[in-house]
Amino acid sequence: MKKKPFNFRAFTTLAILWTLIIDAVSGLVLYTVPSGRIADWTNWTFAGFAKSEWETIHTVFSYIFLLFISLHLYNNWHSILHYIKRKFKQYTKARIELYLSLLVVIILLGGTIASIPPFSSVMDLGSLIKDAWPENKDEPFLARAEKLPFDR
């Protein structure tokens, strides 16, 4: 039985999937984590990672996700262009989907930038969750006291 060669397209597609999952999970964790002051003062962790580590995971994997998306587009550029050209030549529904998807994304972006409901509700919910974390009775006497050195 002949061994199949390494499939780079499949590799990039699966890497996109895994990085998307990691980015989504880290994004949800960061959406609900207490504010930095509370997280630092209480030594907050989730799944063994502190807030700063979740931020690092999220940031790095966002860039890795973009890298794999770029590789995916590069590897499939001719197929994508061929598909678009073929659909436009045939005057099928592809034009409707293209314009409708663009319109929906523009509306979503505009609503988010304008901070109008229901878009603003997403951030309001995040703030509500963050504010629900209990305040520690042993609050630091000074903002960011947890960052101060112990030596004199």
pLDDT class of 62 with cuts at 50, 70, 90:
very high
**Whole-Å CA distances, 24 to 9, 27, 53, 142:** 22, 5, 15, 34
Asked whether residue 56 is domain-assigned, the answer is yes
For residue 123, the model assigns a pLDDT of 87
For residue 138, the model assigns a pLDDT of 62
Asked whether residue 135 is domain-assigned, the answer is yes
Q: What are phi and psi of 50, to 5 degrees?
A: -80, 170
Residue 66 has pLDDT above 80, yes or no: yes
pLDDT class of 65 with cuts at 50, 70, 90:
very high
Asked whether residue 26 is domain-assigned, the answer is yes
The closest alpha carbon to 27, from 54, 65, 66, 63, belongs to 54
**Whole-Å CA distances, 19 to 7, 39, 62, 85:** 18, 25, 8, 30
Q: Which domain holds residue 24?
A: 8-147
Asked whether residue 1 is domain-assigned, the answer is no
- Report how many domains make up the chain: 1
pLDDT digits (tens, 9 = 90+) for 67-125: 999 999 999 999 989 987 887 777 655 567 778 889 999 999 999 999 999 989 988 99
Place of tokens 């903002």: 143
Asked whether residue 13 is domain-assigned, the answer is yes
Asked whether residue 38 is domain-assigned, the answer is yes
Asked whether residue 121 is domain-assigned, the answer is yes
pLDDT digits (tens, 9 = 90+) for 21-60: 999 999 999 999 998 888 888 889 999 999 999 999 999 9
What's the token pair of residue 99? 């314009």
Asked whether residue 69 is domain-assigned, the answer is yes
pLDDT class of 142 with cuts at 50, 70, 90:
low
For residue 99, the model assigns a pLDDT of 84
